[in-house]
Structure 1
């Protein structure tokens, strides 16, 4: 069972691929889109959920997304048509590192996708290349809320604590103008939704060749969350402006 299929099924009931509820997503977009007529770019847009919500919020906004998953982009196009915003959305099927545009963007976002760039600061460097003067960046990144176990670090990555994460962003030439730390409720709801959706799919499709693997993956991931990183891992979203260029 390939990773893309697992992700699609796991996020069926939580299309925002990060531990954020709908109200938090709305507030973050409001902070990053003060005018409502901005041009927005999502680096690693997946199914375009952030862009679709931004377009639905602001009828004068235009958006572009970049992703390597043709399936996700096809679903984004279909959803945009259903919302009637397809004329204001452009999607690019390519690596984010190779994407270039003739115009800059007022908001560049990348939430939960910093691994695709090799970490937080490389993601910010990519965002900076596309950012218009005075624009905003919306980025989401994990952090350690308390000292993790070696097993947790091996599983999720070598994150810093929250204060150090923000310090690194500031030292890189950015000023946070808004932020949101995911609550325990958001973190738990995300994990329950992901592994519950995958398990439900497996139970609903017992004859599918991938059913047993999907059920086993859901059980393994749920156990890892509860036993290894639930009490140590957190997630922060930052709305940033450039302090220096």
Structure 2
């Protein structure tokens, strides 16, 4: 069972692929689009387009572009856009986000929970800088260490200590790259727990509902492994911050 299929199933009931509740998503988009009746938004690693579809629903004068490697997720994004009546205002590209280029810059660039596509936060900032219009904004979400990670936490994440830093250091790195945080949200423990239970629960439920499917056992195994890594490893250790950034 490939990683893309697992992710699609796991996010069936939590389409935002990050530990953010609906209210937090709404607040972040409201600040990111504030004072702009029309504009162009780009999401790098858009999946099924949840962020962009919400942005288009909130901003009738906005247009959007999404980029992702998961063709099936993009198909669902197109279907959702048609159902919402915003299909003419969104373009979706089956492409590695690192290879995306555009003739016109964007007023808002988003990459929340997908910085791994670029190899981390700092390469994501560098890529976004090339795509953002002067005065534009970047909405980027990244993990950070809430406390020193134990061996169990690192094993549960399949991560190394140097993959993340604490919140202060992460923010200082952003500033050092010439970006200024103008807003931000740190996900709460409740948001994390809801996200992880939704992730593991959706995957496990799919396996229960499709016991004869050839991928059922793999889906259940992935859900169990993820749940164990979270509850016995990184719960309370890995945090998540979403910054709204502008260039100096």
Counterpart Cα distance in 1 of 2:116 and 2:20: 18
Q: Deviations over 1:161-192 (max 9, x none)?
A: 00100000001000000000000110000000
State the SS of the aligned residue for 2:38: coil
Are residues 1:239 and 2:244 paired? yes
Unaligned runs of 5+ in 2: none
Counterpart Cα distance in 2 of 1:69 and 1:199: 21
Between 1:181-190 and 1:150-159, the stretch displaced more is 150-159
Give every structure 1 segment of 4 or more consecutive aligned residues whose post-TM-superposition deviation is greater than 6 Å.
none
Are residues 1:215 and 2:220 paired? yes
Cα drift, residue 153 of structure 1: 3.1
Cα drift, residue 78 of structure 1: 0.5
Partner of 2:84: 83
Partner of 1:198: 203
State the SS of the aligned residue for 2:181: strand
Unaligned runs of 5+ in 1: none
Partner of 1:61: 62
Partner of 2:11: 11
Counterpart Cα distance in 2 of 1:156 and 1:55: 35
Counterpart Cα distance in 1 of 2:159 and 2:79: 32
What TM-score, normalized by structure 2, do the two folds share?
0.96
Counterpart Cα distance in 1 of 2:99 and 2:224: 37
Between 1:31-40 and 1:182-191, the stretch displaced more is 31-40
Counterpart Cα distance in 2 of 1:95 and 1:233: 27
Q: Counterparts in 2 of 1:1-40, with a 5 A limit?
A: 1-34=1-34, 35-40=36-41
Q: Deviations over 1:97-116 (max 9, x none)?
A: 11111100000110001111
Q: Counterparts in 2 of 1:132-211, with a 5 A limit?
A: 132-153=133-154, 155-157=158-160, 158-211=163-216
Counterpart Cα distance in 1 of 2:6 and 2:246: 35
Cα drift, residue 156 of structure 1: 3.4
